[in-house]
Structure 1
Amino acid sequence: MSHPAQPPATGQAPARLSTLDRFLPVWIVAAMAAGLLLGRFVPGIAPTLDSVSVAGVSLPIAVGLLVMMYPVLAKVRYSETRRVVADRKLMITSLVLNWVAAPAFMFALAWTFLPDLPEYRTGLIIVGLARCIAMVMIWNDLACGDREAAAVLVAINSVFQVLAFGALGWFYLQVLPGWLGLETASADFSFWAITLSVLIFLGIPLLAGFLTRTFGERARGRDWYENRFLPKIGPWALYGLLFTIVLLFAMQGDEITSNPLDVARIALPLLVYFVVVFVAGMVLGKLLGLGYPRTTTLAFTASGNNFELAIAVAIATYGVTSGQALAGVVGPLIEVPVLVALVYAALWAQKKYWPTATPTVADTPAEKANR
């Protein structure tokens, strides 16, 4: 979301979050409450929001989705690829965790915890397919991970999602349940609808982020771009998320207030998912000898999810008032406190299992460039 300050010294993680990020769960809860009040006291808000749409998404919500995606993708160092791509162990392990193990695990959790709630179950599966490209940069910095490795893995996840999200959605929502004798997704599922929403709500900001960094660095240099420009646009990712949550809850107020236990049931598998996938990434990195910085990067990029994209896909495919969209909205509320706790866990693991490790993000980008 917002661009973090310079990376922290080991053991001082929470102090390095900006005020916006540190209280993100509070802002999300406030946005939910504001949305519920708006839906209750402003009659006819749903048809008004749906009166103009883009790719099946109401125009105001589409604007919010694009606003929250662009700053994140403008942060990625698209040119920092060779050194990280050369680490085949890291690359292969990340691809397997992100695109094979994690989606399959979320599929299993969704069916285990929500067998009787197909809309929420589908929403969770979509969340599992949306690999993290957003706040992972913050968690990685706080835990003293490898910043360049995180940037490259984020870039790869971004491009891969544009190319493969629709096919994977079709596999996990239609093909695999059929093979296992389970109920498939509802008839309104569409491979092309998912692909189109990914192209719009990820492809457009991805291209914009790439062009912004390319021409921004060329015109003013990396130091200006990362230390002057990014901090100015970074908070807009959070503003876009909160704006979208307000509108979603304004349109889903009756469903949410009538079924609070359903929201809790969505939260539980998300909690299990974050912890298990993170631990798996840390253990694999240790066994493969990746070193603490890249092990931490591997764990956070595998355990985090791109809820912005999941929300966009769910709304475009199933509608703004769907259970699938609600499952995506619950995600950030659970992700933020859990991954802050996992930052502490990573720093503890560094002291215990990598006692001689030197954090690779202790320098500013300018200092790194001068090495």
Structure 2
Amino acid sequence: MKKRTLSLFEQYLTFWVLICMAIGVGIGYFFPIVPNILGQFEFYQVSIPTTILLWIMIYPMMLKIDFRSIKNIRKHPQGLFITWVVNWVIKPLTMYGIAKLFFFIIYNGILNKHLASEYLAGAVLLGAAPCTAMVFVWSKLTKGDSAYTLIQVATNDLIILFAYVPIVSFLLKMGNITIPWQTLFLSIILFIVCPLVLSVITRNFLVKYKGKDYLENNFIPKFDKYTMVGLLLTLIIIFSFQGEKLLAQPLSILLIAIPLIIQTLFVFAITFWAAYIAKLPYSIAAPCGMIGASNFFELAVAVAISLFGLSSGATLATVVGVLVEVPVMLFLVRVANNLQSRFS
């Protein structure tokens, strides 16, 4: 099998990501009027500017999906089972265990119990929310099967609707958890349904009147340069909203980041290994690992704010999850691509 190679831009994407995160933090700290203005363009805690940029990333990826190939999923049902078990059993439990180990035992004497409890809550909110939008970026960078990735993400979104509250309530022993349902439903509609419907219409129209060759070799490649630019601009906006908070608590950020990074690497290793043992092709195994490792941080941040408040430790923990996720996921993309030759 031909090894997946990254383009020159993708090879240094981590560097550009870190630069854009720093720019975003700087804008939020020195020019708070910018996020204040952007914050006015929100609907049920979903940022409209961020949504537009995510569409720029997601729409071209969904254009590549040949929906007739979705029937091939039945050839590799193990990929769906691995995704479900990891995201809804292994990931929440390991997040809870690793976070509790660090916040209550390893950091004992550094954190008081109240702050440790809030950090734990934020970590659990992250761990119980599998990623929706950004997974398509990671799948693209590992040349994943786009149709299979779509089904994995879509089924996870359906499971979120009835499993998220019970899992978080069970782990945190909180019976009064309220979910911002408008945020959840709107995110699914904006990041899955809308670009999917638009891509189906576009694909069918172009295939009918221009041919499949034109679609794949002329139309879709026009979007390639905009996909990563959309990612970088999204990061600038996200971190401009959190600039002051991140700079105000550097030690707390480090303390929270360590267990989150360890848990992300651990879950990726388990998922990728399980996909290898199940003899899944690399195009399915790589997205499996990426979906297992990444989080639906938009949902986690929104729930943390609604439950604990904007200035709480739980909200800070979810924000740190955003901070560490992109660089760590880019590292895992590189790891996955380097292991591609192990898959038949």
**After superposition, where does 1:87-166 map in structure 2 within 5 Å?**
87-113=76-102, 116=116, 117-118=119-120, 120-128=122-130, 130=132, 133-141=135-143, 150-166=145-161
CA deviations 1:81-137 (Å, max 9, x no partner) are: 233313444554454345544454445444444562146414532554549741343
Write the deviation string for residues 254-297 of structure 1: whole angstroms up to 9, x where unpaired: 21112234444454345434543444345434544x2xxx3434
Q: Distance in 1 between matches of 2:142 and 2:331?
A: 15
CA distance in 1, matches of 2:47, 2:276: 46
Q: Tell me which of 295, 301, 305 is aligned to 2:291.
A: 305
**Secondary structure in 1 aligned to 2:69?**
coil
**1:300-339 superposed Cα distances (whole Å, 9 cap, x missing partner):** 2222139998244345555698432442343111110233
| Structure 2 residue aligned with 1:338 | 332
Secondary structure in structure 2 of the residue aligned to 1:40: helix
Q: Which residue of 1 aligns with 2:107?
A: none
Matches of 2:40 and 2:327 in 1, distance apart?
29
Measured in 2, the distance between the counterparts of 1:36 and 1:131 equals 22
2:75 maps to what in 1?
Answer: 86
Which of 259, 262, 271 is matched with 2:249 structurally? 259
State whether structure 2 residue 2 is matched by structure 1 residue 9.
Answer: yes
Query: Are 2:49 and 1:60 aligned?
Result: yes
Give the corresponding residue for 1:44: 33
Gaps of 5+ in 1: 1-7, 142-146, 358-371
CA contact (8 A) 1:31 1:245 kept: yes
Richer in helix (by share):
2
Distance in structure 2 (CA, Å) of the matches to 1:281 and 1:46 = 37
Amino acid at match of 1:168: A
* Number of matched pairs: 323
Going from structure 1 to structure 2, the CA distance change for 1:228 and 1:42 (only over 3 Å counts) comes to: same
- C-alpha deviations, 1:216-261, integer Å up to 9, x for none? 3333333322232222223333222222221222221121112234
Work out the CA distance in 2 between the residues paired with 1:112 and 1:72.
39
Alignment deviations for residues 47-90 of structure 1 (CA, whole Å, 9 cap, x no partner): 32222322323432333333333233333332212333134445
Percent identity for Structure 1 against Structure 2: 20
Q: 1:260 to 1:119 in 2, by over 3 A?
A: farther
Cα distance in 1 for partners of 2:79, 2:10 equals: 28
Taking structure 1 as the reference length, the TM-score comes to 0.72
Give the alignment's TM-score, normalised by structure 2: 0.77
How is 1:349-364 mapped onto 2 (pairs within 5 angstroms)? Answer: 350=342, 357=344
- 2:180 matches 1:190: yes
Is the 2:142–2:336 contact (alpha carbons within 8 Å) kept by the matching residues of 1?
Answer: no
Match of 1:222 in 2: 212
Cα root mean square deviation, aligned:
3.5
2:133 and 2:48 map into 1 onto residues whose CA distance is 25
Please tell me whether the aligned partners of residues 94 and 298 of structure 1 are also in contact (alpha carbons under 8 angstroms): no
Q: Secondary structure of 1:81's partner?
A: helix
Cα distance in 2, alignment partners of residues 332 and 278 from structure 1: 14
In structure 1, the residue matched to 2:203 is: 213
Q: Output the CA distance in 1 between the equivalents of 2:92 and 2:281.
A: 20
Contact 1:68/1:241, CA 8 A, preserved across alignment: yes
CA contact (8 A) 1:127 1:307 kept: no
Question: Matched residues in 2 for 1:220 and 1:107: separation?
Answer: 52
The alpha-carbon distance between structure 1 residues 33 and 129, as it changes in their structure 2 partners (threshold 3 A), is closer
Contact 1:161 1:198 in 2 (8 A): no
Aligned AA (1:304): M
Rate the CA distance shift 1:313–1:170 in 2: closer, same or farther, 3 A. Answer: same
